[in-house]
C-alpha cells in the first residue's frame, strides 16, 4: 500500500447514506461492505447488523442508491 494515495474517506456528512465500501483484507485481497453509514467507522447492513471497519483500510467507496 505504500505510495498509494488514499481515497477521500466517508465522514460525518455521509452518515445516513447507503454506501458500498471496498476494504483491504488482512489476509490479502479485498472484502466489501454494503449498508447505511452509521458513523465514520460503521455501516448498518441489510440484515440489521452493524459492521465496524477501519477507515484507513478503505481502497474505494461510493454512495449507492437504495433498492
First to last CA, the chain: 33
Look up the pTM and report it: 0.83
7 versus 59: which is more confidently predicted?
59
pLDDT digits 0-9 by tens, 9-52: 998 899 999 999 999 998 999 999 999 999 999 999 999 999 99
Please give the backbone phi and psi of residue 14, each rounded to the nearest 5 degrees, phi first: -95, -5
Q: What is the residue extent of each domain of the chain?
A: 12-63
What is the four-CA torsion angle of 18, 14, 41, 63, rounded to 10 degrees? Answer: 40
46 versus 6: which is more confidently predicted?
46
User: Which pLDDT band holds residue 65 (cuts at 50, 70, 90)?
Assistant: confident
Question: Could you identify the residue written with the cell 437504495?
Answer: 66
Amino acid at each position: 500500500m505504500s505510495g498509494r494515495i488514499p481515497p477521500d474517506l466517508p465522514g460525518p456528512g455521509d452518515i445516513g447514506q447507503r454506501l458500498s465500501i471496498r476494504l483491504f483484507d488482512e489476509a490479502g485481497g479485498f472484502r466489501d461492505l454494503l449498508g447505511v453509514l452509521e458513523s465514520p467507522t460503521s455501516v448498518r447492513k441489510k440484515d440489521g447488523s452493524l459492521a465496524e471497519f477501519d477507515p484507513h483500510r478503505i481502497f474505494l467507496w461510493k454512495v449507492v442508491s437504495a433498492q
